[in-house]
Amino acid sequence: MTAPLIIPGRGGPRMSRRGFLAAMGAVGLSACSDLGADRSPDLGGDSSLRVLNWPDYIDADDDGDVYYSGGTLDGLVAEGLTVDYVAGYEDNVGGFQIVLDEAVDVSPPGFDIVVPTNWRAAQMIANGWAEPLPIELIPNHVNIDPAFLTNAWDRGCRYQMPWQAGITGIAYDPALTERPLTSVNDLFDPAFAGRVGFIGEMREAVGLVMLANGDDPSRPTRSAAEAGLDRIVEAAGTGQVGAFTFNEFAPLLAEGRLVAAMAWSGDVALLQNERPDIEFVIPDEGAIQWFDTMVIPAGSANIAAAGRFMDYVYDPANAARITEWVQYISPVMGVRQVLAGSGGDATALADNPVLFPDDETRNRLFTWGGLPEADEQALDDAYAALIEQS
């Protein structure tokens, strides 16, 4: 047997921090009061908040109204929480500029929750632009899927709570490709010249091409990333790339202007409601996994309200409603069981491997591992310049 490692400890009488505070107070030593205080900061208002999220990322009615009766935001109103929900986070460059302009550089920030992608959230946390989560107000924090708890930049999710996760893989129209696509290399097939879409997020596009090159984007090096980028630059130069897109790949595929594209799994699922013939594949080499995550910008005046919002959307029943609508991977434990018990289309979603990847699939998903900030900035700049030229 393997004995547990024991770190020597010592017993003895102890005074709790509360006891210490009382003792300090008894002799008027207020300078030490922070030691005994409850470390929770002033959590501010708890009845209203502003949320900045990506478009089409919460349940809405047929008219696109996110405040519809019976929806998630309506449920929050019933709980006494007023939510000003802004679906204006378009991408991690322009969208993040909104965060910088309205959520970080002003005090108090313009939004109480923003939902950047994981790598942007990591930057926010590293730069001190994020508040610690008010864990004491989020008992449903225990419902975070442990797969999201082990990121080195925020182990245990103490500064962010994932909103939805997704896969960047390949979507294609089999009627136009006239063959199944199974590899990232298929996007470089000259037969599809000018009709292939590459995703506008550098880490996802470069990451996928790195996989095709045999490199691991979860442990990237600058040279491997540059090799991936060079290949995209070359493809763009030869006219292989028809468009660099964010979620506009969906209408372009639907209209037949693209035959194949690097694509986000949830957006493809929504597209398949109209075009069930569009295929989404995780390439043989693997696909890129990412997640968008709720962050409270530093200085928020409504941290308590943000905590209540997070707790509400982490209730499995509420999270299942969102998943059923957005069809991305839910980071909330228990959602699958709720969907399975809901009947109808929801039950079918519970068996969808793109929403609930099995172990074999998970082993083929790679999350961008990150490079030093200067290297990432250089790659971001180069990719942005490429998109601008195209």
Residue 141 interacting with another protein (CB under 8 A): yes
87 binds another protein (CB under 8 A): no
User: If residue 217 lies in a helix (H) or strand (E), which one and from where to where?
Assistant: none
Q: What angle is formed at CA 265 by the lines to CA 73 and CA 371, rounded to 5 degrees?
A: 100
Is 363 a residue that touches another protein (CB under 8 A)?
A: yes
6: contact with another protein by CB under 8 A? yes
SS3 190: helix
The answer to whether the CB of 181 falls within 8 A of the CB of 262 is no
**Among 119-127, 138-146, 190-198, 311-319, the segment contacting another protein (CB under 8 A):** 138-146
Closest C-alpha to 213, from 226, 200, 201: 226
Select from 62, 142, 214, 372 the one that contacts another protein (CB under 8 A).
Answer: 142
Near another protein by CB under 8 A, which window of 15-23, 69-77, 103-111, 180-188? 15-23
- Kindly state the number of chain residues that form the binding site for another protein, as judged by CB under 8 A: 51
Instruction: Say whether residue 356 binds another protein (CB under 8 A).
Output: no
- The minimum distance between CB 368 and another protein, in angstroms, equals 12
Confirm or reject binding of residue 15 to another protein (CB under 8 A): yes
The nearer residue to another protein, 361 or 390, going by C-beta atoms, is 361
Q: Which amino acid is at 229?
A: L
- Alpha-carbon gap, residue 191 to 168, rounded angstroms: 22
Rounded CA-CA distance 128/80 in Å is: 30
When asked if residue 353 is in the footprint of another protein (CB under 8 A), the reply is no
372 binds another protein (CB under 8 A): no
The pattern of x and - marking residues 41 through 80 that bind another protein according to CB under 8 A reads ----------------------------------------
Quote the least distance from Cβ 322 to another protein, whole Å: 21
Query: Cα angle vertex 184, ends 182, 189, to 5°?
Result: 90
Please, what is the minimum distance in Å from the beta carbon of residue 309 to another protein?
Answer: 17
Site for another protein in 155-194 (CB under 8 A): 155-158
Assess 255 for contact with another protein (CB under 8 A): no
Out of 26, 78, 152, 374, the only residue in the binding site for another protein (CB under 8 A) is 152
Q: Over the Cα atoms of the chain, what is R_g? A: 23
Spell out the residues 6+ positions from residue 269 whose beta carbon is closer than 8 angstroms to its own: 280, 327, 328, 352, 354, 355
Using CA atoms, how far residue 63 sits from 111, 170, 220, 246, 277, in Å, is: 25, 29, 43, 23, 25
Residue with Cβ nearer another protein (112 or 311): 311
Rounded Cα distance between 374 and 201, Å, is 17
Report the nearest approach of another protein to the CB of residue 152 (Å).
Answer: 6
Q: Minimal distance in Å, beta carbon 111 to another protein?
A: 24
What is the closest distance, in whole angstroms, from the C-beta atom of residue 298 to another protein in the complex? 18
Segment holding 326, helix H or strand E = helix 316-326
CA distance 298 to 131: 5
Distance CA 9, CA 125 (A): 33
Q: Is 26 in the site for another protein (CB under 8 A)?
A: no
CB of 133 to another protein, least distance (A): 10
Among 85, 129, 150, 184, binds another protein (CB under 8 A): 150
Only one of the segments 60-68, 178-186, 256-264, 356-364 lies at the binding site for another protein (rule: CB under 8 A); that segment is 356-364
Per-position x/- string for 206-225, each x denoting binding to another protein as judged by CB under 8 A, each - no binding:
------------xx------
Residues in the chain: 390
Residue-wise burial string across 259-281, b where 16 or more C-beta atoms lie within 10 A, e elsewhere: bbbbbbbbbbbbbbeeeeebbbb
Query: Which residue among 22, 25, 26, 29 contacts another protein (CB under 8 A)?
Result: 29
Checking 270-278 for CB contacts under 8 A at 24+ apart, the result is 270/56, 270/326, 270/327, 271/171, 275/173, 277/173, 277/174, 277/175, 278/171, 278/172, 278/173, 278/253, 278/254
User: Which residues sit at the interface with another protein, rule CB under 8 A?
Assistant: 1-18, 20, 23-24, 27, 29, 31-32, 34-35, 38-40, 135-136, 138-139, 141-142, 145-147, 149-150, 152, 155-158, 218-219, 359, 362-363
